[in-house]
Amino acid sequence: MLGLYDSGLGGLTVLAALRTAGIDQDIVYFADQAHVPYGDKSDGELHGFLTENLALLAGQRVDAVVTACNTSCAVAQHYGWPATPFPVLDLILTAGGSFAETRHRRIAVIATAATVRSGAYTRAIRAAAPYAHVHEIAAPRLVPVVEDGEADTSTGRDAVAEVVAQIPSDVDAIVYGCTHYPLLDRWFAAALDPRIERIDPAAAQAAAARALVAELGLPPGTSTTTYYTNGDAHSFERAVRRWTGDTTGRVAALVAR
């Protein structure tokens, strides 16, 4: 069984990528919606949330955690990963590693303020592609837009337009450095020059998760996902149905911490 966590809905994009990659493991997904957005929190707060999220998943007896939150990975790279009895796949390291064979030279990473502050994406991409020029852009409005159910509205479109206006015109790729942003992809696609590739690290994370499942020799699962939130379970359930198409997974509320 695999564990995934995020501050809210963003990690559903990683979950979807895992299922698209054919991973049939049962999955426990935890949305820390009591603390969303993560991007404007201090490193100390974020490390505390990370520690609690991993402890919660440990309590579910997961075999591995596939991180679906860039911001917590950025903080863990500075302050250390809490000790766990299972392996944890770092989304930013996976994303960076996927640039080893890249033809891209000028890359814009769009991420939360906390992730940009850490510089973790620039380090991870340049470790794999030393000649790449990486430009990081903080986009603090986008997570609240998604969490408030505005991703499909003109509010979502306008929030994306503000970010696109900050992207240098000579980049050849952008990276969704926050798992919420692929839920706004239609607006990025419409606003960006079509020659700019839009990269979602979820695909690389799913490939890494597949390899980890094989390495750990985990027996086949039943492709069942159980969702937990410490926010509002009803609106979270609606969002799960909207963004994953999963009509069977069970959604349960946890008491907000």
Given the rule CB under 6 A, which residues bind ligand DGL? 6-7, 10, 36-39, 69-71, 112, 115, 143, 178-180
Among residues 178, 199, 213, 239, the one annotated as catalytic is: 178
At residue 71's C-alpha, the angle toward residues 69 and 72, to 5°, is 75
Query: Is the CB of 25 or the CB of 115 nearer to ligand DGL?
Result: 115
User: CB–CB of 228/255 below 8 Å?
Assistant: no
Query: Is the CB of 50 or the CB of 164 nearer to ligand DGL?
Result: 50
Alpha helix ranges (H) inside 101-201: 113-118, 120-128, 142-147, 154-164, 185-191
CB of 96 vs ligand DGL, minimal distance in Å: 14
Edge-to-edge strands of the sheet including 197-199?
Answer: 133-138, 106-111, 173-176, 197-199
Query: Is the CB of 54 or the CB of 218 nearer to ligand DGL?
Result: 54
Buried/exposed code over 127-160 (b: 16+ C-beta within 10 A; e: otherwise) = ebbeebbbbbbbbebbbbbbbeebbeeeebbebb
CB of 58 vs ligand DGL, minimal distance in Å: 21
Query: Is the CB of 18 or the CB of 36 nearer to ligand DGL?
Result: 36
CB of 24 vs ligand DGL, minimal distance in Å: 25
Among residues 31, 69, 159, 212, the one annotated as catalytic is: 69
CB of 48 vs ligand DGL, minimal distance in Å: 14
User: CB–CB of 124/118 below 8 Å?
Assistant: no
73 catalytic residue (yes or no):
no
The catalytic site residues sit at: 69, 178
